[in-house]
Structure 1
Amino acid sequence: MKYTTLPNTNIKVSKICLGTMTWGNQNTQDEGFAQMDYALDQGVNFFDTAELYPVPANVETYAETERIIGNWFKKSGNRDKVVLASKIAGPGDYTAHIRTNGFKPKAIQDAVNKSLERLQTDYIDLYQLHWPERQTNTFGVRDYAHNSKDAWQDNFNEILHTLDTIIKEGKIRQIGISNEKAWGTMRYLEESKQHNLPRMVTIQNAYSLLNRVFEGDLAEISMRENIGLLAYSPMAFGVLSGKYIKGTAAANARLKLFSRFNRYSSDSCTEATKRYLKIAEENNISLAQMALAFVTQQPFVTSNIIGATTMSQLKENIDSINIELKKDVLDQIKEVHNAIPNPTS
């Protein structure tokens, strides 16, 4: 395994992070336990979860993933071996069953306390805001369109003050953002700088061969401001395994179970994936490992969040840490990206 640190901290984390959002829906507790056991044995010390998980979010399975992780901590006694990240759910059409007061001080306090209880731990190493409260473009919306009727009021300072209080209570160690944009990222960083408040150390956004929009303004912010990307969906919901092109996807594959997760299923995504598959096959590596290695070796990536529903997938994903893509492969990838840039719909 390869390691780095969360930016501006001494917290050592593996370059591969174990994602958990299928546990409690596509995966049972026993399967989650097996994944954590194996990942930790392979040197993966960084686990990412959220109160929202598993997905798709619903009342019946709310926060089940955190409960599974908490039960594993209790059974294994391995809490001190894991750098644990979780998130508070922001407002949205599928989170009303969680709470409706966004990132108000009481909401953040409530979310942290309940996560700690479910996770059966006294502290969370990295606590993240799952997405912005304000109306902005996320989840496949290409361009920003200002909504003058957005009722959101600027509360960056208030949020950081609330998180500062919780840090001083010892309940969380570091903070981060997720699904955030360039403007919001810089606002948090500037509020921290101007008012001596806790600093966001990571940003967890989607990043893959099919979705490289992070390489715009956010990549510059990441490098110049030292805020690391925790890359999620590096496999584009499994599309970049090639299984949907080859017709080998299992009946319980995510895109077969949940039609709403179709942002990587456009004709242009399929064509780009076919071209990436050809590159991988010509270089005697699997498309999955090429896709993951590409993400991991980007200079702005702190850790690459993998997810799997089977142990064979998990093993292949973790083994990608041993692959370094050479210039000729990267040049071929660049040709596809130039021809079909960011096809995610």
Structure 2
Amino acid sequence: MEKRRLGRTDIDVTSVCLGTMTWGEQNTEDEAHTQLDYAMDRGINFIDAAEMYPVPGRAETQGRTETYIGNWIEARKNRDQYILATKVVGRSEMTWTRDSENLTRQTPAQIDEAVEKSLKRLKTDYIDLYQLHWPDRPINGFGFHSYEDYATDDMVAFEDILGALNRHVEKGNIRHIGLSNESSWATMKFLQVAETNGWPRMVSNQCVYSLVARRFDYERAEIAMREKVGLLAYSPLAMGMLTGKYDSGPTPKGSRKDLFPTFLGRYDLAKAAIGDCNETAKKLDLTPTQFALKFVESRQFVTSNIIGATTMDQLAENIDAHEIDWTEEMEKEAHRIHQSYRSPVA
């Protein structure tokens, strides 16, 4: 399993990361523990979670994913063998994540509350990578297609956010910090504030990225390379669309499209591109999964590719897909697809 440096830290993470957002909704705790054991046996040393997981976010299930992981940590007693990441929600109406708030924000007080709750659920003394799940600013971070400005006084100051995170780093609760679904401008602002104050730098930016979602290439990739704020790519299979399982026939029972059809709405306008990707894979003597996952791993600015699965067969296939060699012919086809459709998914 290939390892890559996490930002400017001294940590090497595997180029494949185990995603966990289905645990507690589509997966039981026993299934989650089986996935964790298998991933570790296959050499993966990177686990990604979030305080709001599982998805879709609901008061009834919030925190289950971290709780499942925490019980596994307690049982296995192997905390020093992997890198554990989790996230704090951004501006939202998920008030159930806080004890008494009308809106979730990334204020110092709410960050403090979120960190302590995650540590308790995870049953650990420290989090290796703590990420801002999405911005505190009132911007459309999901399904973005056009920019609309906002009042800058309606945001928690970067200094306040980073200062709060720094205090947890100093306490030893957090080792490193990162972003998620963040813009180029804000990424650079966080780096500027960190340098000015001698505070920790952001080491990563977790964003959607796949053969049909390549907006990261346009600006943030250069920041990833020059500033060492690497991409942690999520939805590399476009929520299963790039596996080919939705190409024809009835929707598989128990799949995300079956259970949560509105979740896949952002892919409705990308059907032609998705079909091209899956057919191209077959012409290259690959499975659609191999083509999609190896493409993401092959990008220079990607630190780790976050895979998720609801069955063990899917998990094994996803890990195996990274073992093929990325060829010049595959690169040409990926480029052709991008030229033809650009980034139909944002």
TM-score (norm 1): 0.96
In the alignment, is residue 65 of structure 1 matched against residue 68 of structure 2?
no
CA distance in 1, matches of 2:169, 2:144: 34
CA distance in 2, matches of 1:225, 1:233: 24
Q: Counterpart amino acid of 1:57?
A: G
Q: Counterpart amino acid of 1:107?
A: Q
Task: Give 2:50's aligned residue.
Answer: 50
Find the residue that maps to 2:120 and give its secondary structure: helix
Change (3 A) 1:302 1:269: same
Task: Give 2:35's aligned residue.
Answer: 35
Find the residue that maps to 1:126 and give its secondary structure: strand
Find the residue that maps to 1:244 and give its secondary structure: coil
Residue 16 of structure 2 contacts residue 319 of structure 2 at CA under 8 Å; is this kept in 1? yes
Residue 4 of structure 2 contacts residue 14 of structure 2 at CA under 8 Å; is this kept in 1? yes
Residue 92 of structure 2 contacts residue 105 of structure 2 at CA under 8 Å; is this kept in 1? no
Deviation at 1:160, TM superposition (A): 1.2
Task: Give 1:144's aligned residue.
Answer: 147
In the alignment, is residue 339 of structure 1 matched against residue 340 of structure 2?
yes
- CA RMSD, 1 decimal: 1.4
CA distance in 2, matches of 1:264, 1:101: 24
CA distance in 2, matches of 1:248, 1:192: 51
Flag structure 1 segments of 5+ consecutive residues without an equivalent: none
Residue 17 of structure 2 contacts residue 304 of structure 2 at CA under 8 Å; is this kept in 1? yes
Deviation at 1:192, TM superposition (A): 0.8
Task: Give 1:312's aligned residue.
Answer: 313
TM-score (norm 2): 0.96
Deviation at 1:250, TM superposition (A): 2.5
| Deviation beyond 6 Å, 4+ runs, structure 1 | none
Residue 14 of structure 1 contacts residue 46 of structure 1 at CA under 8 Å; is this kept in 2? yes
Residue 210 of structure 1 contacts residue 264 of structure 1 at CA under 8 Å; is this kept in 2? no
Q: Counterpart amino acid of 1:37?
A: D
Residue 297 of structure 1 contacts residue 324 of structure 1 at CA under 8 Å; is this kept in 2? no
Find the residue that maps to 2:115 and give its secondary structure: helix
Deviation sequence 1:96-147 (CA, Å, 0-9, x none)? 2213351111111111111011001000000000000112231112111113
CA distance in 2, matches of 1:28, 1:139: 28
Task: Give 1:203's aligned residue.
Answer: 205
Equivalent of 1:222, from 221, 224, 227?
224
TM alignment of 1:91-102, pairs within 5 A: 91-93=91-93, 95-99=94-98, 100-102=103-105
Residue 17 of structure 1 contacts residue 46 of structure 1 at CA under 8 Å; is this kept in 2? yes
Task: Give 2:273's aligned residue.
Answer: 272
Deviation at 1:6, TM superposition (A): 0.7
Q: Counterpart amino acid of 1:186?
A: M
Residue 174 of structure 1 contacts residue 200 of structure 1 at CA under 8 Å; is this kept in 2? yes
Deviation sequence 1:180-228 (CA, Å, 0-9, x none)? 0111111101111122111000000110111000001111111111111
| Segment of structure 1 superposing worse, 50-59 or 155-164 | 155-164
Task: Give 1:26's aligned residue.
Answer: 26
Flag structure 2 segments of 5+ consecutive residues without an equivalent: none
CA distance in 2, matches of 1:175, 1:203: 10
CA distance in 2, matches of 1:228, 1:36: 24
Find the residue that maps to 1:111 and give its secondary structure: helix
Task: Give 1:176's aligned residue.
Answer: 178
Deviation at 1:260, TM superposition (A): 2.3
Residue 236 of structure 1 contacts residue 264 of structure 1 at CA under 8 Å; is this kept in 2? no
Residues paired across the two proteins, number: 342
Deviation sequence 1:297-343 (CA, Å, 0-9, x none)? 10000000000011111001111221222111211121121111111
Deviation at 1:264, TM superposition (A): 4.2
Task: Give 1:289's aligned residue.
Answer: 290
Residue 295 of structure 1 contacts residue 304 of structure 1 at CA under 8 Å; is this kept in 2? yes
